[in-house]
Amino acid sequence: MNAMLETPELPAVFDGMKLAAVAAVLYVIVRCLNLKSPTASPDLYFQDSGLSRFLLKSCPLLTKEYIPPLIWGKSGHIQTALYGKMGRVRSPHPYGHRKFITMSDGATSTFDLFEPLAEHCVGDDITMVICPGIANHSEKQYIRTFVDYAQKNGYRCAVLNHLGALPNIELTSPRMFTYGCTWEFGAMVNYIKKTYPLTQLVVVGFSLGGNIVCKYLGETQANQEKVLCCVSVCQGYSALRAQETFMQWDQCRRFYNFLMADNMKKIILSHRQALFGDHVKKPQSLEDTDLSRLYTATSLMQIDDNVMRKFHGYNSLKEYYEEESCMRYLHRIYVPLMLVNAADDPLVHESLLTIPKSLSEKRENVMFVLPLHGGHLGFFEGSVLFPEPLTWMDKLVVEYANAICQWERNKSQCSDTEQVEADLE
């Protein structure tokens, strides 16, 4: 009788299986969320100089530990996904004026202008000229958040709307934005210089915008006039080198490629009449565009080869990527340049980061900042689960710009003092 009432051993086996299953799930969660990864201050690459020493002293974020939200902030994928889907938390709505510029080929470029909401820390007139990421514009939440913060720190902001990116602005020529075309950004900068002759410029580019602003500055020395500094965040530096890594499945890069290609297809097809309509006088290079290949494209490279390179008459994808990448222009930039990437950015392969590392070893004006976490344009901060409205990236760009403005002010004061002493002698 007692033997019949004994608890069978089988449930203990099931309990062990449940425990093993829970342990397996926890292991996957820890791995996927990268919970074991430490928090640390960003890795910095620079040459020892008066400028770099001043920046380290004036920019605490460069040497301070970057702490992302505890639960998910160490995952580059989640940081990237939240940036892409949500943009920012409690994003403000800065008030600006939309400006229209007619380009020489008939295209209508637009940008939004936001006046400062406070006096700048050095009391000067400073304008941030901002180039957003691929297919982005001034209405994107991450741009609105950054602009609002910059305005409150005394900066006027001019934000380029990539040609064809705004859904309510029609194309007026058979051309839209491309990977490295600087025409619209240059037109915006020239407008600012002409309208505000006393202003100085801080150039800022995010992702694809980082490529455009660096290429613009390096194209000619004249483009660097009145420019105090440049900041590039999360760009890949060389499309030619990136194309192979972007087709690989590690870090789900191929999947991101597919999602961005799908978005680009929607934008191009929304302008199909302006770009490919029978009534449109388009360049010869666009005449042989096969839209059926665009419909079936699953990567940015296929879209670039079938459509984008033809806007500027490139004969091959290789030529397009070589000419449109900023890598060949970076060494021609002489103003202070801060290049920022995240080590866990799933879109930018680690092999591409040798470009800014190598540049920072050769040029005193270049600082490369590489935090462990942040994803692609994420850089959220927070304690456990919920992120703060402002990101580490927003604060770093403004802090760096403030430091450069102060550096230039100190140099000017020293020059004035030396001149007075020379006159007295």
pLDDT more than 70, % of the chain: 89
Rounded distance between C-alpha atoms, residue 257 and residue 248, angstroms:
10
Rounded distance between C-alpha atoms, residue 40 and residue 16, angstroms:
38
The torsion angles phi and psi of 118, rounded to 5 degrees, stand at -155, 170
Higher-confidence residue of 281 and 136: namely: 136
Rounded distance between C-alpha atoms, residue 79 and residue 387, angstroms:
10
Tens digits of residue pLDDT in 123-134: 999 999 999 999
Q: What is residue 126's predicted lDDT score, i.e. its pLDDT?
A: 98
Which of the residues 112, 148, 305, 345 is marked catalytic?
Answer: 345
Q: How does residue 384 score in pLDDT terms, banded at 50, 70 and 90?
A: confident
Q: What is residue 27's predicted lDDT score, i.e. its pLDDT?
A: 45
Which of the residues 109, 173, 207, 325 is marked catalytic?
Answer: 207
Q: How does residue 241 score in pLDDT terms, banded at 50, 70 and 90?
A: very high
Residue 270 designated active-site: no
Residues 282-286, mean pLDDT to the nearest whole number: 70
Choose from 33-37, 270-274, 381-385 the range with maximum mean pLDDT.
Answer: 270-274
Q: How does residue 383 score in pLDDT terms, banded at 50, 70 and 90?
A: confident
* Ordered strands of the 366-370 beta sheet: 43-45, 366-370, 337-340, 227-233, 200-206, 126-131, 156-161, 108-114, 97-102
Burial annotation 265-290 (CB, 10 A radius, 16+ → b, else e): bebbeebeebbbeeeeebeeebeeee
Residues 284-296, mean pLDDT to the nearest whole number: 78
Residue 420 has pLDDT above 50, yes or no: no
Helix (H) or strand (E) holding 98: strand 97-102
Which of the residues 52, 271, 376, 394 is marked catalytic?
Answer: 376
Choose from 24-33, 87-96, 107-116 the range with maximum mean pLDDT.
Answer: 107-116
Q: What is residue 155's predicted lDDT score, i.e. its pLDDT?
A: 98
Round the CA-based radius of gyration of the chain to a whole number and report it.
25
Of the candidates 203, 200, 160, 159, the residue with the CA atom closest to the CA atom of residue 183:
160
Higher-confidence residue of 336 and 280: namely: 336
Q: How does residue 292 score in pLDDT terms, banded at 50, 70 and 90?
A: confident
Q: What is residue 278's predicted lDDT score, i.e. its pLDDT?
A: 77
Average pLDDT of the chain is: 90
Higher-confidence residue of 285 and 99: namely: 99
Residue 423 has pLDDT above 60, yes or no: no
Residues 45-72, mean pLDDT to the nearest whole number: 95
Residue 169 has pLDDT above 60, yes or no: yes
Residue 19 has pLDDT above 90, yes or no: no
Q: Where are the domains of the chain?
A: 36-238+330-407, 247-324
Rounded distance between C-alpha atoms, residue 246 and residue 302, angstroms:
12
Q: What is residue 26's predicted lDDT score, i.e. its pLDDT?
A: 44
Residue 23 has pLDDT above 70, yes or no: no
Q: What is residue 408's predicted lDDT score, i.e. its pLDDT?
A: 95
Q: How does residue 33 score in pLDDT terms, banded at 50, 70 and 90?
A: confident
68: tokens are 């992302």
Tens digits of residue pLDDT in 150-167: 999 999 999 999 999 999
For residue 256, give the amino acid letter: Y
Residues 315-340, mean pLDDT to the nearest whole number: 97
C-beta atoms surrounding 17 within 10 Å:
10
Q: What is residue 11's predicted lDDT score, i.e. its pLDDT?
A: 58
Identify the three-state secondary structure at position 388. coil
Residue 25 has pLDDT above 60, yes or no: no
The answer to whether 143 and 132 have CB atoms below 8 angstroms apart is yes
Tens digits of residue pLDDT in 76-101: 999 999 887 777 778 899 999 999 99
Q: What is residue 9's predicted lDDT score, i.e. its pLDDT?
A: 55
Residue 345 designated active-site: yes
Q: What is residue 362's predicted lDDT score, i.e. its pLDDT?
A: 95
pLDDT more than 90, % of the chain: 76
Q: What is residue 251's predicted lDDT score, i.e. its pLDDT?
A: 87
CATH class of the domain whose range is 36-238+330-407: alpha beta
Residue 289 has pLDDT above 80, yes or no: no
345: tokens are 């950015």
